[in-house]
């Protein structure tokens, strides 16, 4: 295995690794956004007052880069209107009041798959997006542009962020489903081999996965050094294959497709049952949480009800994060819903939530040594603050994966990731198409 440049070693805090997943059940209401993926938003296919069932399509679009959205409950649509979510912008949402019956939609049935085209159509129909990161539609990822030759499917089981153990529990609890999903992807895409990358701080998962692939030469398990951000696409590809994804290029350009371990397991589940993506396992943890655990929740469940299921808070949370502490998003309300790409909900008390005051950069270059993308974070920070966006773009600001290594190592407590995000957003909004 290769060692990628940079990275950091934050405390692992895998407190819930030994806790089996517990199903939460049906919440009092679900709020299902029409944007839970990269690409075009879906348009609601239901109206206020409509009755819906579990697995029923409630949002879709003709756009290729998108993913349909389904109801996670049976009940009555009570609102179809824009709501402000984690990105701070209004997003069209469908609110459903569950009836408690959880009646399954009549159209839910296993898809007929007999070709590459029908497989990709089934993946799209399932509503699957990347479940470990940015929410890229899976059918798009599995259909690389013409002219690219993909020979390696990489399964990301590294789960390098502190606290999060939802992927680990998938490896322990659904080992066979993971392997079955990998075999489906290999068969219908024509990719020759799969490599499962998992950090070496998960010996039990390595053991069960290795046992499951014994006798399957097309799938191999590879323990990786425990170092954040090992699970980022580009670092994972380099660690497993030695290939480097050039600036502005995709994994397919170097012959790889990367899928999260839960995503590939869901492929097997959907092909077997026809039930689209309506639920998610999330790790609930943090110093303010009374009973940390791994919880299976229905998509659209209000965060407050998830925390209440875990016993509520043992102290007033100073910060609640959707995702991990390195790359997660700080939340402004517990009324926000669980989304497809969520894998953790963390709540920290006031002591752990204080943001240190920024001081002047001392040019120590720790951020440069830590950056896995080989960037100059301190300089990007300076240029964005000076509104010199063109110069920041020349220094490849768009290649930043926002992993947070720079801010984590900075003795001056510079909030470089936040600043770089602002710069990237400005450049994207003002780039001529």
pLDDT tens string 72-86: 999 999 999 999 988
CATH number at residue 173: 3.40.50.11540
Same domain for 155 and 261, yes or no, is: yes
Q: What is the mean predicted confidence (pLDDT) over 333-357?
A: 93
Least Cα distance to 107 among 68, 55, 43 occurs for 55
**Number of residues written out for the chain:** 433
Does the residue 251 lie in any domain? yes
In terms of domains, do 376 and 234 share one? Answer: no
How sure is the predictor about 24, in pLDDT bands with cuts at 50, 70 and 90? Answer: very high
> Are residues 269 and 374 both part of a single domain?
no
pLDDT at 133: 67
Examine the pLDDT at 33 and tell me if it is beyond 60.
yes
Examine residue 49 and state whether it is found in any structural domain, yes or no. no
- Name the pTM for this structure: 0.94
Looking at the fold, whether 230 and 375 belong to one and the same domain comes out as no
Give the model's pLDDT for residue 214: 96
Which of 249, 273, 297 marks a domain boundary?
273
User: What confidence tier does 337 reach under pLDDT thresholds 50, 70, 90?
Assistant: very high
385 with 261, same domain: the answer is: no
HEC profile of 51-94? EECECCEEEECCCCCCCCEECCCCEEEEEEEEEECCCCCEEEEE
pLDDT at 433 over 90: no
Average pLDDT over residues 327-336: 93
Would you say residue 67 lies in a domain?
no
Instruction: Choose the final residue of a domain: 219, 248, 273.
Output: 273
Mean pLDDT, rounded, for 254-280: 97
Last-in-domain residue among 273, 297, 325: 273
Q: Are residues 393 and 260 in the same domain?
A: no
Cα gap 377→367, rounded to integer Å: 6
pLDDT digits (tens, 9 = 90+) for 414-424: 999 999 999 99
By residue range, what is the domain housing residue 133?
116-273
Whether 186 is in a domain gets the answer yes
Work out the angle between the directed axes of helices 175-189 and 203-213 (0-180°, nearest 10): 50
């Amino acid at each position: 295995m290769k060692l990628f440049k940079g990275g950091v070693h934050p405390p692992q805090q895998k407190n819930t690794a030994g806790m089996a997943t517990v199903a939460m059940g049906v919440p009092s209401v679900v709020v299902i956004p029409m944007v839970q993926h990269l690409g075009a938003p879906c348009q609601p296919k239901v109206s206020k007052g409509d009755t819906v069932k579990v697995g029923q399509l409630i949002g879709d679009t003709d756009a290729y880069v998108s993913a349909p959205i389904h109801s996670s409950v049976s009940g009555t649509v009570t609102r179809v209107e824009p709501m402000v979510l984690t990105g701070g912008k209004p997003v069209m949402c469908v609110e459903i009041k569950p009836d408690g019956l959880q009646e399954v939609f009549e159209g839910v049935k296993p898809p007929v798959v007999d070709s590459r085209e029908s497989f990709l159509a089934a993946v799209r129909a399932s509503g699957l997006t990347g479940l470990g990161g940015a929410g890229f539609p899976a059918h798009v990822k599995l259909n690389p542009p013409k002219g690219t030759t993909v020979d390696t499917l990489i399964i990301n089981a590294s789960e390098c962020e502190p606290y999060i153990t939802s992927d680990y529990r998938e490896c322990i609890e659904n080992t066979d489903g993971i392997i079955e999903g990998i075999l489906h992807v290999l068969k219908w895409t024509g990719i020759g081999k799969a490599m499962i990358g998992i950090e070496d701080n998960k010996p039990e998962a390595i053991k069960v996965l290795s046992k499951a692939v014994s006798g399957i030469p097309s799938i191999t398990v590879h323990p990786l050094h425990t170092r954040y951000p090992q699970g980022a696409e580009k670092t994972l590809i380099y660690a497993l294959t030695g290939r480097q994804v050039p600036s502005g290029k995709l994994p397919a350009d170097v012959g790889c497709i990367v899928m999260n371990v839960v995503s590939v397991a869901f492929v097997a589940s959907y092909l077997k049952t026809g039930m689209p993506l309506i639920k998610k396992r999330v790790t609930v943890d943090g110093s303010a949480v009374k009973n940390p655990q791994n919880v299976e929740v229905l998509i659209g469940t209000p965060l407050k009800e998830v925390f209440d299921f875990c016993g509520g808070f043992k102290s007033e949370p100073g910060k609640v994060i959707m995702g991990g502490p390195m790359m997660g998003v700080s939340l402004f309300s517990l009324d926000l819903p669980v989304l497809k790409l969520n894998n953790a909900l963390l709540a920290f008390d006031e002591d752990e939530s204080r943001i240190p005051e920024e001081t002047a950069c001392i040019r120590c270059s720790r951020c440069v040594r830590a950056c896995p993308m080989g960037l100059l974070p301190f300089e990007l920070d300076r240029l964005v603050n000076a509104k010199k966006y063109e110069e920041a773009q020349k220094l490849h600001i768009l290649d930043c994966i926002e992993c947070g290594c720079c801010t984590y190592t900075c003795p001056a407590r510079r909030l470089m990731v936040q600043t770089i995000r602002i710069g990237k957003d400005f450049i994207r909004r003002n780039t001529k198409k």
